[in-house]
Structure 1
Amino acid sequence: MKLINNTFFLLLIFVTVVCSAQEQMIEKITIKGAKKTKVNELKKILFFKENTVLDSIQLNEEIIRLKRLPAISHVYYEVIRLEDNKNEVVVKVEENFTIIPEFNLWTTTNKRLAYKIGISDYNFLGRNIVFGGFYQNNGFDSYGINLRAPTLFSRKWGIAFHHQNWNSEEPLYFENGTANYRYQNISFETLALYQVNNKHQLQFGINFFKEKYSYLTGAISSNVPQNLDVNKQLFKLIYTYNNLDYYYQYINGFKTQFYGQYVTSENEYQNDFLVFWNDLFYYKRIGSKGNWANRLRIGLSSNDKTPFAPFALDNNVNLRGVGILVDRGTGSIVLNSEYRHTLYEKKWFILQGNIFTDFGTWRNPGGSFSDFIDSNNVRIYSGIGLRFINKKIFNAVFRIDYGHGLTPNSSKGFVFGVGQYF
């Protein structure tokens, strides 16, 4: 028995030595194709390093991660065998053009023509930093400045800063009618960004902001002030699980994103409140030219009976064709589903068509969960659209959709925008 044990022990040592001797190592990492992007920045982002074990599963996951970066249009790799058990990993990237101007035109609630202009660099200084700003005029002046550096301190830690002075005319809904108010929001936000691994990310921080409401026209209620000016603090947490794989305009996989916010304020019309929502995304490649895309959003907030409810029923957010800021609620369930099909593709240009259905239902401020199945709160829209895509420029998707309501007393209309709807 002792001889058998000794033999087994020696055999185990032999197998361990042989396996160790045959273990493939990364001797060198070479990045090719990077022009604006700093090579050192890409190497910092990668989880695999030189003089570590060559792991093909990890390599494939890292390539998927790189394809999610705004600076990268496409990326692939090859392994070159060197002497002994050493290897060179050559990562070949195709860069996006990332300095993106923004220009939008639309009609406000009082039929006034509004516009928004801006510019953002999604690869500022070649270091995976997003930096940009905008100016908007919708009868009032607004502006915003954003800086987001997800790998500023290391491949896991980054930071984001946002400042905004937002002014708009918005409808408020209460029992005896509707009123239009001038709404102003001046905010300063700081977020810490932490990447747990390739699939899990966290963002958390605080937003200090001042809200002002000034009565313009419409109904008056004794329960709703004509002027409101209050300082608030917003504590924010965002958790993201991202398992999406990109191939130019095509997406495959699953993603979930949770938003949690706690807002504190001191005034008689608005209590401290909690709001959260979760977005579930599912994308499926169909054949060589098709893509099925889905988004399910479920959100709830503190159920105060107030015209300042956080969830909005709006063309540009949830239901295509419904109109601009049609209603508000303290709960929301929205399902967007569409099939995208590439109609034409030549070099950098892509023409994509889509058919869609948007479903939504709301909980009224101060209402109950039964509001979600109340036919008066359910909206269903369906329609068709086109996408004009430049595959060499980040998020260069101009979209136009036409939505038609399928539920009673529904509206219809066109929705324009930049980027996919979701």
Structure 2
Amino acid sequence: MKKIVTACIFIVLMSLGASSQDKIIAVVSIEGNDRTRTNFLKRLAFVKEGAILDSVRIASDVRRFKLLPAVASADYKINNLGDGEFEIIYTIVENFAIIPGLNISNAPNGDFAFRTSIFDFNFLGRNQIIGGFYSRNVFDSFGVYWEAPNLLTRKLGIGLNYQNNVLLEPIFFDNDATVNYKFNTRAVEIKMQYEHNFHNRFELGLNISAQEYDFDNGDEPLEAPLSLGIDTVAVIGEYEYNGINIDYQYQSGFRSILSYNVLLGSNGDNDLLRNAFIGRNDFEYFKRVGERGNWANRLSVAYASNSTTPFAALIVDNQLNIRGVGNSVDRGSAAVVFNTEYRYTLYEKGWFVLQSNVFVDTGIWQDPGGNLGDLVSASNNRVYPGGGIRFIHKRIFNAVFRLDYGIGLGDNATSGIVFGIGQYF
């Protein structure tokens, strides 16, 4: 009995001794941040002063910082202060986060079209996004945005935007007639943003819009209305799982982004514009290949429940899914698109990177008024291999100037150049 009691006392004393040897974080410091506020970064960090030293949580903080648009890279070091106390020093390399944007293309009528924008991705030094765009695509359009992902708490924020888009939209009817409409949509959107952790992020909001289609020019089939209009209120949402690791121009890991739009109510003069549900999920996978290579993949699956209207919600377009296919060349109510490309760093010195890429973009669409069998029809399939070049500034967020050339395979396929800012995906 005495031996048992002695053993228990020994175990308790050993436990107390072990706990007294816990390594305590006495100081958390952040260096290298110029514009980003230190108190904001400390608010995001899992590691707090007085906590037990935990290398896993420190590594989580480093990855969280790297996901911020304002941060190009992050690292840490540990200083032993003695008496079981330690200092954690996070070292931040900041991005320049005030970013102009420019996309150039041909409008559906063949005119020169462009979109210019400017955004601050680190407004007030607190990871807020503010900015707007102006575009000319036959007609003038503009939009303004503000997002504060960490405004209310370190996990909860809000976003607001207003857009007035006026475009020349081609609509394709059953008798092969093409009608161009002046499409005007004015929309206000408000959403709540919740980041459960740096892997899982949610958005939920309302979109209130007024949409109008007015006949501009075309073949004038009998079934083509001269004008359409509808006012809608819709629930919008997004769920993102982010398992991507970023090292300047290189990415590795998996990401999934699910977005949806559910119509709550509408007031209009034609059922052709009504879509009760629009959903899309992008699955992305990146893998480092050697020292300079990066394999990038995206599988996009999309569906709109109103499949009977030629005003289908999903568009085949250069800038969205298939490089080289042209601008708004077709529509569909369901789609499966796969993009794969190999990126290779040709030259890197200081802040500058020259990167090449070869790609294959392929997709298949369900025709408006068709059925899901269209998704296995060879006539609805598009395959576009190609290549391009990237000019990258490592110290400016998303400063990737890309130029791609896609070559269509098959009968009546097109080819073309696609220019933009930011990686294609």
| TM-score category (smaller protein) | over 0.9
Name structure 1 gaps, 5 residues minimum. Answer: none
RMSD: 1.4
Cα distance in 1, alignment partners of residues 368 and 18 from structure 2: 65
What SS does the aligned partner of 2:82 have?
coil
Is 2:348 the counterpart of 1:349?
A: no
Residues 407, 4 of structure 1: alpha-carbon distance in 2 compared, 3 angstrom cutoff: farther
Partner of 1:169: 168
Is 2:415 the counterpart of 1:416?
A: no
Q: Residue deviations 1:210-247, cap 9 Å, x none? A: 10101011133444421112111121111111011111
Which deviates further from its counterpart, 295-304 or 32-41? 295-304
Mapping of residues 147-162 of structure 1, within 5 Å: 147-162=146-161
State the shift of 1:336 in Å.
0.4
Partner of 1:233: 233
Cα distance in 1, alignment partners of residues 373 and 238 from structure 2: 28
Partner of 1:185: 185
Partner of 1:104: 103
Cα distance in 2, alignment partners of residues 185 and 16 from structure 1: 67
Q: Residue deviations 1:303-331, cap 9 Å, x none? A: 43101211111111101111111111111
Cα distance in 2, alignment partners of residues 158 and 146 from structure 1: 14
Cα distance in 1, alignment partners of residues 246 and 306 from structure 2: 39
Q: What is the one-letter code of the residue matched to 1:111?
A: G
Partner of 2:50: 51
What SS does the aligned partner of 1:196 have?
strand
- 1:315 aligned to 313, 318, 323, which one? 318
Cα distance in 2, alignment partners of residues 411 and 181 from structure 1: 23
Partner of 2:21: 22
Q: TM-score by structure 1 length?
A: 0.97
Cα distance in 1, alignment partners of residues 302 and 423 from structure 2: 22
Equivalent pair of 2:102/2:421 in contact (CA under 8 Å): no
Cα distance in 2, alignment partners of residues 318 and 151 from structure 1: 31
Q: Residue deviations 1:180-201, cap 9 Å, x none? A: 0001110110110101012111
Equivalent pair of 2:275/2:306 in contact (CA under 8 Å): no
Name structure 2 gaps, 5 residues minimum. Answer: none
Partner of 2:61: 62
Partner of 1:251: 251
Q: What is the one-letter code of the residue matched to 1:317?
A: L
Q: What is the aligned-residue identity percentage? A: 40
Q: What is the one-letter code of the residue matched to 1:201?
A: R
State the shift of 1:3 in Å.
4.8
Mapping of residues 12-411 of structure 1, within 5 Å: 12-176=11-175, 177-263=177-263, 264-267=265-268, 268-269=270-271, 270-411=273-414
Q: What is the one-letter code of the residue matched to 1:255?
A: R
State the shift of 1:7 in Å.
4.5
Q: What is the one-letter code of the residue matched to 1:333?
A: V
What SS does the aligned partner of 1:258 have?
strand
Q: TM-score by structure 2 length?
A: 0.96
Equivalent pair of 1:265/1:272 in contact (CA under 8 Å): no
Q: Residue deviations 1:42-98, cap 9 Å, x none? A: 111112211112211111122111111110011100111112221111000011111
Q: What is the one-letter code of the residue matched to 1:388?
A: F
What SS does the aligned partner of 1:370 have?
helix
Q: What is the one-letter code of the residue matched to 2:288?
A: R
Cα distance in 1, alignment partners of residues 274 and 245 from structure 2: 42
Residues 5, 292 of structure 1: alpha-carbon distance in 2 compared, 3 angstrom cutoff: same
Cα distance in 2, alignment partners of residues 129 and 382 from structure 1: 38
Residues 214, 20 of structure 1: alpha-carbon distance in 2 compared, 3 angstrom cutoff: same
Equivalent pair of 1:303/1:367 in contact (CA under 8 Å): no
State the shift of 1:293 in Å.
0.4
Cα distance in 2, alignment partners of residues 26 and 49 from structure 1: 7
Residues 8, 276 of structure 1: alpha-carbon distance in 2 compared, 3 angstrom cutoff: farther
Q: What is the one-letter code of the residue matched to 1:373?
A: V
Equivalent pair of 1:182/1:214 in contact (CA under 8 Å): yes
Cα distance in 1, alignment partners of residues 203 and 362 from structure 2: 29
Residues 369, 4 of structure 1: alpha-carbon distance in 2 compared, 3 angstrom cutoff: farther
Q: What is the one-letter code of the residue matched to 1:79?
A: I
Q: What is the one-letter code of the residue matched to 1:276?
A: G
What SS does the aligned partner of 2:370 have?
coil
Cα distance in 1, alignment partners of residues 31 and 126 from structure 2: 16
State the shift of 1:207 in Å.
0.7
Length, aligned pairs only: 421
State the shift of 1:162 in Å.
0.7
State the shift of 1:4 in Å.
6.0
Cα distance in 2, alignment partners of residues 274 and 11 from structure 1: 66
Q: What is the one-letter code of the residue matched to 1:346?
A: K
State the shift of 1:365 in Å.
1.9
Equivalent pair of 2:256/2:282 in contact (CA under 8 Å): yes
